[in-house]
Amino acid sequence: MIGMILFSLIEDLINESLGLLYKNDKYLLDIDAENIPAVRNDDEKHVGERAAMFRFAYYMQSLVNDYNDYSLLRNYNFDCEYNRNIYKVKRLLDNSKAIPDIIIHKRGNNDNNLLIIEIKTWWNNNSSSDISKIMDFTSKEGFYKYKYGLSFKLCEAKEDTIKSMTWFSEGKVFKSENDKHNNK
């Protein structure tokens, strides 16, 4: 089944879901914390990353359910922070526990692991552990063998979010929007 799903279909789903997030839930991404008198420190300035991540996954699932363009993805599960590897805890190659932000897969086996997504928000730039997690999850030598991985930063503007995207397959980067925009 995974072989039938084209990368372009997944990329379109991601971009369309981002469009809905920026149209309907901009509040989650650009709260003007500087003008809120009760804010005491940086940790209290913004909505939690999980709130934006959930809404993004919600839009992906909704598009798959509502439009025939994405019908090949209807039998997949869209999960946020799903920490199970069948009946065990998900672990990286170094045996540390792993909780991906969003995964598209079929629960109960590792034969249909399609996409792992790691998201950071513009106020939290530390994505180094996310990158190594995606590389493990997409590696041929790993347990999960996800077909694709995606890392990006939810920025204040959708265009900047798209520029931050890095796509992975087989444990390596295969497409980086950032490189494309830097080379122009």
Residues 10 and 37: their CA atoms lie apart, in Å, by 42
Residues contacting residue 120 through CB under 8 Å, at least 6 positions apart? 49, 126, 127, 130, 151, 152, 153, 154
The Cα–Cα gap between 129 and 66 comes to 34
Could you tell me the two tokens for 53?
């991540």
Please give the domain boundaries of the chain with CATH numbers for all domains.
Answer: 2-182 (3.90.1570.20)
Q: Identify the pLDDT of residue 72.
A: 94
Q: Over the stretch 97-149, which tens digit does the pLDDT of each residue have? A: 999 999 999 999 999 999 999 999 887 777 778 999 999 999 998 889 999 99
**How would residue 183 be classed by pLDDT, with cut points 50, 70 and 90?**
very low
pTM of the model: 0.88
Residue 26 corresponds to which tokens in the numbers above? Answer: 């901009």
- What is the tens place of the pLDDT at every residue in 19-56? 999 999 888 877 555 555 554 555 556 677 888 899 99
